Chain A
Amino acid sequence: MNPRLYRYLQVLVALGLAFFLLDRFATGKLLWYINARFVVLTVLGIVGLIAMSANALEHLRITRRLEIDEGHEEHSYFPDAMRWNLFLLTLPLIFGLLIPAQPLGVDAAASRGGVVSAPLASGDVSPGSLAAAPDERNILDWIRIFNYESDLTPFLGEPANVIGFIYRDPRLTDGQFMVSRFAVSCCVADAFAIGLIVDWPETASLPEDGWVDVTGTIDTGELNGQRVPLLRADSVTLVDPPAQPYLFP
């Protein structure tokens, strides 16, 4: 392949990637892929891609002038293997543009071994989880409290209001479902679903798939012979998926 052509195509792909990332950043969809605290790094990546592209264009301009001045043509060419560089790096663009963007949902939760209530930080509850008013805590805050507070008695009867997607765990009884969110530490590769058991008599009337806003009180119930905390619902309303579907530990 002619090296100048390779460079032009390289710049094209690099700028394409930069604008793809910029689009996801501008639409807020970047948070469907990575934890919010890494967004600043992605911006750095966008700046880097644009800087490298601009520099490569400048290099093309300078070498063009030299060639004309000195009257010599470039005889070298890049090995064909380097076509693969170009092709493979357009794949993120192709996948990003052809397949409609969609955050991880209930299907992914099932293939990842279901919804768990695992701890997400060692030692004490993060102060934020306890400082928040009970009905402002999200699913992650409640999971932290359930995992790290040795005595849950003070929390029983507290009001709770959380948003999440419906997950039907086979271990649960008829009047129960899980209200779940994905927790993403870094990017969706490490996402895992966490959830609270919701006790609601009208569970059967809920759709298979969808997001709900659950209001109720914290209580305990039994699961596989163990006492577990759960959310006894007063109301369950179907809602639109939030713009930021994941929780960030």
Chain B
Amino acid sequence: MSVEPASARRALPRWLVLLILAVVLLMAIPSSLTLGLAFRIVDGLPTFATVFLGIFIEAVPYLFLGTLASGLVEVFLPPNAIARFIPRRGGLAALTGGLLGLFFPVCECGVIPLTRRLIRKGLPLSAGVAFLLAAPVLNPIVILSTAAAFGVGKVLWLRLGLSLLIAVVTGLVFSVEADPQSVLRETHETHTHERDHAHTPASRAEKWRAALLIAIDEFFEMGRYLVVGAMLAALMQTFVPQAALLSVGQGALLSVVVMAALAILLSICSTVDAFVALGFVNTFSAGSILTFLVFGPMVDIKSMLMYSRAFRARPILYLVLIPLLMSLLSGSLINLYFPGLK
């Protein structure tokens, strides 16, 4: 195949990566300077390595399952199957996409390759975006873990309801885009596989082999962003004291902003973030806990980096900003009008 066209290379949102790096540096420098930068880095290295490897090891099986699911969808799902079962346009498509996660138990690492594949296979964009944002929460595993942590009550229902609402609204915003493929980044992967499998796989064994080949390519393609994201999250955790953040836990608005920031920085898998949120229940307001539970699975450091592999710059902006603003808004409203939620 030919070298990637210059326009596609420029579409890589370097600014996004640079922005994140700048924020991390700005937050890390003041605390590091006071304590002696060199000492801290050497002292922190084992902790950094442990946290980095912890996130990576935890995510590997989920990433494998996500990329395998993507490969299987590509090989086994007939091209017109999606068109037959999923409504084409508008609210119904977005709602269906938002609920699709109930049948695909994936978390935020696995959902990105799978969504990209489903959109390529003709899933309407509004449904795809709603699936991308809702599936990490609206799936059986996460529902069970949230119920285990908070009990079957308001927190659980609000988490599910708000996630679905935000996902569907964001999906609707995307439904004005006529050509779903235009939000996706060009990848070499499609071309190489077309070449590799110019003869369409016929037997079941051949199909599995084709699916596994797609899986390994996507594992490496998405894995590199997982590695970078896990490193950034580990840097934050090792070198930025969290006490400063935690001292602002009760302000009705500020606490919501802080928990949204924490959700981005910690990059915890959605299957267990409920247990982590529980650790903050005594120090943080109810609205901010919900913001953490709703926004965290949609956007964090590693998922943003993985988005940058699958989507162009402008769609990523929408994918991050709409959920951010809506979850900040709902968290603040809960604090202002229903403060005694817990």
Contact = CB atoms under 8 A, between A and B. Distances in A.
Q: Chain A interface secondary structure, helix, strand, loop or mixed?
A: helix
Interface string B43-68: 11111011111111110111011001
A66 to B, nearest CB: 9
Interface stretch (B165-173, B276-284, B322-330): B276-284
A48 B68 contact: yes
Contacts of B279: 116, 118-120, 192
A93 to B, nearest CB: 10
B61 A51 contact: no
A86 B220 contact: yes
Contacts of A92: 52-53, 56-57, 227
B248 to A, nearest CB: 13
B271 A88 contact: no
Contacts of A32: 50
Contacts of B46: 99-100, 102
Interface string B11-54: 00000000000000000000000000000000111110111111
Nearest to B43: A107
A238 interface: no
A49 B223 CA distance: 12
B73 interface: no
Contacts of A104: 47, 50-51
A30 to B, nearest CB: 7
A172 interface: no
Contact of A190 (B3, B4, B242, B276): B276
Interface residues of B, number: 70
B278 A122 contact: yes
A65 to B, nearest CB: 14
B237 interface: yes
B4 A119 contact: no
Contacts of A45: 60-61, 64
Contact of B224 (A21, A84, A114): A84
Contacts of A190: 266, 268, 272-273, 275-276
Interface stretch (B94-102, B114-122, B146-154, B313-321): B146-154
B216 A38 contact: no
Contact of B269 (A84, A121, A186): A186
Number of contact residues on A: which range applies? 35 or more
B278 A52 contact: no
A180 interface: no
A91 B58 contact: no
Interface stretch (B125-133, B176-184, B188-196, B251-259): B188-196
- Most chain-B CB neighbours within 10 Å: which of A48, A77, A123? A48
A19 to B, nearest CB: 13
A41 interface: yes
A79 B282 CA distance: 51
Interface in B195-230: 195-196, 209, 212-213, 215-217, 219-221, 223-224, 227-228
Q: Pick the 4 closest A-B CB pairs, nearest first.
A: A186-B272, A188-B54, A45-B61, A187-B58
10 contacts: A44-B64, A45-B64, A48-B61, A48-B68, A86-B220, A107-B44, A187-B54, A190-B266, A190-B273, A249-B275
